[in-house]
Amino acid sequence: MDSRSVSATPEGFAQQMAHLARSYRVVSMPDVLQAVEKGRPLPKRAVLITFDDAYADFAEIAWPILKKFRFSATMFVPTAFPGHAERAFWSDALYQAFAATSRMEINIPPLGRLPLLPADQRRKSLRAIQNHLTVTPYSEATRLVDSVCSELGLSRVQGGSILSWDQLRQLAREGLTLGSHSRTHAIMTKVTPKQLQEEVQCSQEDLQREIGACLPIFCYPNGNHNDAVVSVLREQGIRLAFTTLSGPNKLGSVDPLRLRRTMIMPRTTRAIFCLRLLRLGLHMDAWRDRKQREVMTSGLPDQRTSQV
């Protein structure tokens, strides 16, 4: 797994949830849906907990902690991956290729020659390729990932890090809400109109078939979205959609198909976590988002444990 997909240590996550239990009201996804559709007010200091990607360590680590606090949570699932242990996200495939190679450099035509030594340069080169892929048409990006993995000598990608449908069904029985994270985790702004419609519709159908229920909710892979993507979601009947933009959501004055979240990362200490949920922290997040948009053409793929 790409190390950047890890959101928190088990100890850190438990501390974060303890803080929510003391100071906030954790609400469920159905609560938020009813607030949007029927105008039912949410309690003050309401927090919605969400996870992306359906990594297996959620069931092993995060879910027991959430159950200890009796917290509701939502997992957004890229539905083409459960039940296919041979499949891995392209970000994980690249991470595996970079971690295993003995090469000193790699030549990527759009980016030129990228050094693979020392270790800090390897990380920068991996980041450069990942950033490039988020602004590349989906079919071209897929070919580039295969080419890079082949050139670096990765003959077989190690999958199996995603929860199976049996595991997801068990989690749903225990109270976890499941939502669509597209089918193939494609960057939604870089697929064709037909692919975009299929990613939304088929992922909803997959959840209905495998779980027996499917709420009209969606999470944009990598957070990437635009007016065209939002329009397709609206046509497909999606009522809530989540970005990776930072900040709170004041229901009634925010587009429910462009909801913001607070991203949690390993460097998010207990003090920073508490600050991020306060007004000052929200201003800091907004400033950081603006700075990132100035220096980057897109966000980075990672798993997000988020509060809305």
**Chain segment 221-255, per-residue pLDDT in tens:** 999 999 999 999 999 999 999 999 988 898 889 99
> What pLDDT shows up at residue 296?
38
Kindly state the average pLDDT of the residues 275-279: 81
- Both structure tokens of 165: 């449908």
Average confidence (pLDDT) over 33-54: 94
**Predicted local distance difference test score (pLDDT) of residue 267:** 79
User: What domains are defined for the chain?
Assistant: 3-84+164-307 (3.20.20.370), 90-151 (no CATH)
Tell me the mean pLDDT in the region 286-291. 57
Tell me how far apart the alpha carbons of residues 171 and 100 are, in angstroms, rounded to a whole number: 34
What is the DSSP-derived secondary structure letter of residue 85? T
How far is 165 from 162, CA to CA, in rounded Å? 9
For residues 300 and 248, which has the higher predicted lDDT (pLDDT)? 248
For residues 256-277, average pLDDT: 88
Residues 6+ apart with CB under 8 A from 176: 63, 73, 74, 75
